[in-house]
Amino acid sequence: CETMGGASNICSDKTGTLTTNRMTVTQFYTGLKDYDVNNLPEFPEDLKKIFGIGISVNTKGSVTADENGVLVYDGKSTECALCLYVERMGFDYIQERKNNPSLELYDFDSDRKRMTTIIKSPVNPDEVLVNCKGGPDVVLNFCTRYIDSDWSIKPLNEEVQKKISDQLLEYSKQMLRCLLITYRVGGDYSTAENAEKDLIIIGIAAISDPLRPEVPQAIADCHTAGVIVRMVTGDNIETAKAIAKQCGILTPDGVCMTGNEFRKTPKLELLEKLPKLQVLARSMPMDKFRLVRILKEVGEVVAVTGDGTNDALALKTAHVGLSMGLCGTEIAKEASDICILDDNFKSILMAILWGRCVFDNVRRFLQFQLTVNVSALVISFLGSCVWRESPLKPIQLLWVNLIMDTFGALALATERPRNYLLHRPPYGRKVQLLNSILLTNIAGQSVYQIIVLLIILIAGDNIWNDIDDHSTQHYTLLFNAFVFCQVFNL
């Protein structure tokens, strides 16, 4: 937490951290037509079965309602959104998975960016049905046919590809995450390469993941605090840009890169772009790791968020690794330093605030304690040299240390964070606890206290005529003055 207070860079995920991670299919593009959330496509019966059952078996997520009626997503939110969509079309996706066991499964990973499940065809049990879904920029390369507006299958030509690309761009500008839904009947499926070719496009599922309402202000507060926020996401670059603009990460002069561009860019060229690099889209875990490592090399204090097993390396490499408590894997949580229980970016801002507060509290504590000790040591030493006994008795010094210092230091050490902490730049990693300002304050307070106490010690009997020199009253007055000096210092 203390290191987090000195963070100068945050490399943040998008899903769940900047957004709510409560995804729903709001639009569906099929038959070269766009259907909104209130208008389901009217598929022919056979195609409807292929679509509904295909989605059911080619996903692992599920959605249940808690006692308050709030939907609880179990699994990837994109898959849960698709499950809710086919449920609206009349399919019980849990039952369909039981009725249609998979013959082969080629699972999703960050390199493939697609998932394929093979089952017996629900239309013709003598044939197999290959169901493939994934990132449009990847899966589109394996497609040769599409479903037209009359629900017939036609060859995929350049004109149709342009229409699909334009629609994908439009969805991206609306901050919608897109998945391409495809299928094929029959053919070899012994390997992923054989299964994932000659596919037929059913349509594009456009999934909405609303931005958390508190995120734009939290990002603005980070900028006020001198912390650069960079978004590292697996989404395509247009969707990433749209969300980064809305939440305030992407500025007019900011640089956006894809993971592929980032990997190919030489290190020296990357160092020139690094100060303005704000969005890294279509990134892989190793891209995040490389970004963290380069930022550390140029002297930045880096915090990184992650939720997947593949993020473990970046989480471990960063100065502060922040894992997601709700959607994070156990490996990510183990590799991280701080676990964000609500997966919310505002909590990361609170970690910065608390980190700076802890650092300041340690400094306050040190300043108070050292001033007490310096003035007490000097007075005791001078008194012992001149008058052969310490003006401050052991029992008095013990009282100061046990009572005064304990409660005083506790008050300073438990000071809660305030917003003024965000109105200054991060202190970084090389800053010293005892800096010049602190040493000046200690020296100034100590000199002031020593002068006051020496005046009372030397000239006390002249200032107060009713006390004798070095009497019990004199030393009591000296001790009380010492205590009040510490109260003033506190």
Cβ atoms of 306 and 324 within 8 Å: the answer is yes
Report the DSSP beta bridge partners of residue 305: 322
Q: How far apart are CA 469 and CA 462, in angstroms?
A: 9
Catalytic pick among 13, 235, 287, 311 = 13
Q: Which residues contact 482 (CB under 8 A, 6 or more apart)?
A: 375, 376, 379, 392, 400, 449, 453
Length of the chain: 490
Contacts of residues 30-36 at CB distance under 8 Å and 24 or more positions apart, as own/partner, are 30/147, 30/202, 30/203, 30/204, 31/147, 31/148, 31/149, 31/150, 31/151, 31/203, 32/148, 32/149, 32/160, 32/163, 33/149, 34/167
345's tokens: 């970016």
User: Which of 174, 149, 172 is CA-nearest to residue 160?
Assistant: 149
Cβ atoms of 190 and 197 within 8 Å: the answer is no
417's tokens: 């964070």
**Containing H/E element for 145?**
strand 143-147
Cβ atoms of 4 and 303 within 8 Å: the answer is yes
| Exposed/middle/buried for residue 158 (C-beta within 10 Å: 0-12, 13-18, 19+) | exposed
475's tokens: 């030393």
Q: How far apart are CA 427 and CA 363, in angstroms?
A: 13
How far apart, in Å, are the Cα atoms of 87 and each of 29, 102, 192, 337? 18, 20, 28, 40
How far apart, in Å, are the Cα atoms of 102 and each of 56, 116, 354, 409? 11, 10, 50, 65
Q: Which residues contact 131 (CB under 8 A, 6 or more apart)?
A: 54, 55, 57, 58, 116, 117, 118, 119, 182, 183
| Annotated catalytic residue 107 | no
Active-site annotation, residues:
13
